[in-house]
Structure 1
Amino acid sequence: MFDIVFPKHFVDYIVQCTNAYGNKLCSTNRPHTRHSRRAVFRETNNEEILKFLGLCLLKGHFKCPKQRNLFTYTNHLYYHPIFTYVMSARRHEQLLRCLYASEVDAKGSRKITQFIDTATAHFQKIYNAGKNLSLDESLLLYRGRLQFRQYIKSKKARYGIKFYELTTSDGYVLNIYMYCGKENLEENISKTEDLVLRLMRPYLLKGHHLYMDNFYNSVSLCKKLLGLRTHTVGTLRSNRKGNPDSIVKKKLKKGEHVWVRKNNVYVSKWRDSRPVLMISTNTHPTMVEVQNRFGRKKMKPLEVATYNNHIMSRIDRLDQMVSYYSSPRKTIRWYKKVLFHLLDISVWNAYFLYKKYKKNKDKSYEFIMFREELIKDLIKLDTNINVKDLVNKKSMHYNRLHNNIPAIERNERSLDRMKGHWPERIESNPGSKKKYAFLKCRVCSKDGKRVETSYRCKGCPQKPPLCPSCFEAWHNEINL
């Protein structure tokens, strides 16, 4: 299901853009520090990117102050063997730095909006939406400097990047629009009307019923949507232009219900604990008996009951489930956080389809179970390997080709490969007062020790600096 929602050509595009951006970073004239990850970039491929995305999804299951702690052997509190087994920390950080999903020369919001449009068009293509649709906004936490960063007091994040999302009544995400600042609109259309019509463009003239809150609804918008064969139901702000004064200003007692009609647009008012103003084009305002989850019966207007059944917490529920295992991490580059958020939405859509068509009778199958199965598949984890072997092997790419070779023959092969590997002194730089240069030992650095040596291996291509006592460990356990 994930391959259907997030197909192979999406991964191909990310690989292509990441390689182009990584090569561009390496070709810059900025000075690089020694052993910098930007000095040399080894191009990635589909298999490695899927493993990288799988680890990013897995990081959403852990709370760790620094992601490097999940890879390091020296931090006992946060080290997790699966990360070093799949990929080295330096390679993971290099891929994270070079991750890209647009043309290299893209500026501003175009760094991610084209990929969002492509993904949402694919979401709509693979799933036929039902009659009832919901529209609401969502906020992705981001506190960095950004021209179109928003503040919404009612949201948990409060500061961040705002998305307008169109979903089915049961939670499948159909369309996403990222707010990128003010736009020049036509004189006869408002901002909210343009937003709703943009999100609903693929579903107009098809007879859908759209449920929205009072931020979007107005009498003029309902008339336009009704002319496009789309019904609306939702709450209405009392100060919205075009509202009937006879309904808005009327004082009601608790339980009273009044309404007025203009053509096929109904505006009603009902007082429960406080006045509720509703607008509808697909239901005639009338009082009906409803039952809550505790079994208590109560009289409510039909439009209120219909609205509660189809929009109550659908998008908020989506945000809640995604936030439990959110893969976006704190980053300066906002477009990467949006890309990871889009990945989380793709995983949710895949779970929605898998639950509906494959596990529809299994009520115990939860979102976390789906994510765990998906992560195992993405990182190509062998289900037969146990935890002890995983820790001992250290890396899935650490292949000791002579594991099953007899000990005598193994020693002979090791001696053959050791030919030419002898220690030599590291010459000092011209103009230095020291006779020899001193560098950090590779083996000691991996063990968390800071030891400098003036010896290096003569036969290794990279000529790594090594302590005399570390030559055997380096050649036996790392290179051979």
Structure 2
Amino acid sequence: MDYREGSPKPKRQRKQLSSVLNDSEIEEALYSDNSEDDYQPDDEESASESESEEHLWNIECRPPTRPSVLPTVQEQDLQPFTLTVSDSQGQGQAQINQPSASGSTSEWTTTEEESEDPIFKVRSVIDYFNNKMIECYYPAAQLSLDESMVLWRGRLSFRQFIKNKRHKYGIKLYMLTEPDGLILKFRVYAGAKDTDVTGKEHAEKVVMELLREKLNSGHELYMDNYYNSFGLAKKLLDHNTYCTGTLRKDLKDNPHELMKKKIKKGENCSMFRDGVHVGVWKDKRVVTYITTQYEDKMVQVQNKRGHVTQKPEAISKYNDYMSGVDRQDQLLAYYPCERKTTLMYNKYSGQRKMSLYDYRLNVINARLPEHVPENRPSNTHSAHKIMKATETTSNGRLKRKTCRQCTKNKKRTDSPWYCGTCPDKPGLCVECFENYHLELN
């Protein structure tokens, strides 16, 4: 190799390998003592090299040894590896070993609490709500307890079916509420896996669980016949808590002579035992009720039509305070969280994409008339006023008149509505009221 003038020549020239060497020759070249090399470092260079070597790590380099037979994939996975690092003084040694995977039978496991609780993923949210309601709010005396349904039609081990609910399929919730619909505490029913309340006396366990913080305070609890029984009423009374509601006839502790007794409409019969009042009252059908608060007393109640009837006091109070969960379902129905797809109405819009607001505007515009006359005829029957009859017959029903407009069309219809402005006050249907006065004009 040629060097330019003025440039320093290297003090040492490395050997050039002119041929391909095998592993043994490379090892001999690397670890030879270089006795044939005439290179001699000066004093300054040897001193600097000795100082730098004190801080270097001694890394032992060996040529790779290739096995005659390559190991299989399984053998490679089972072979551990070891990494060893040591300094020049033999201190600070660290070793990392990869354990062998032979005989490994490990599986994914869960904690004992998660395996026993089927709703452990939402348990913290439920407990947080219940505890917050206990801390920040205390209800009035009247409480109602009933079940509610959360819509769910997917796969779920504890999905329930209740035919008289708005959402027949879903997750059943036991709720303790106030009569106005405020939820105080609730519990998710997880089926047979819910070991705290499942099994014998399931309804009684649910009631005592929801009332745990409200016992011994003089509350009045209203429940339906799914929960009520003589044993539960006696147990709540021992905890200074009253209960009222309907009762099933086929329970074991019911008074059998009272259940078999034949009574007439409007008649009420009652029996008492250990402070528990069980009664039978007949209106349109026989109603069996139980209470630990009210006596055998009849009260007057006015219905929606203004008729005054007599009912047992326990039944009257039950109708007033039992609708807490139903009221809660009604309030939630105004703000539904379920959303259906918009593709069903979009196919009628004639456009690829359209918002619901624009679709409604198009529907309204399509329903409006194209041309509205400027001089519209005066509404001559605007002074006419439709009224409803107030007189009743001997049976207590409203008096009805034959509709004049339906009679012209050869159809007989009796209606409680009439025109209070016309002199003869003709009977008219709500649908015929406008057409009748238009024909008169």
Q: TM-score, normalised by structure 1?
A: 0.45
Which structure carries more helix by proportion?
Answer: 1
Q: TM-score, normalised by structure 2?
A: 0.49
Structure number with larger C-alpha Rg: 2
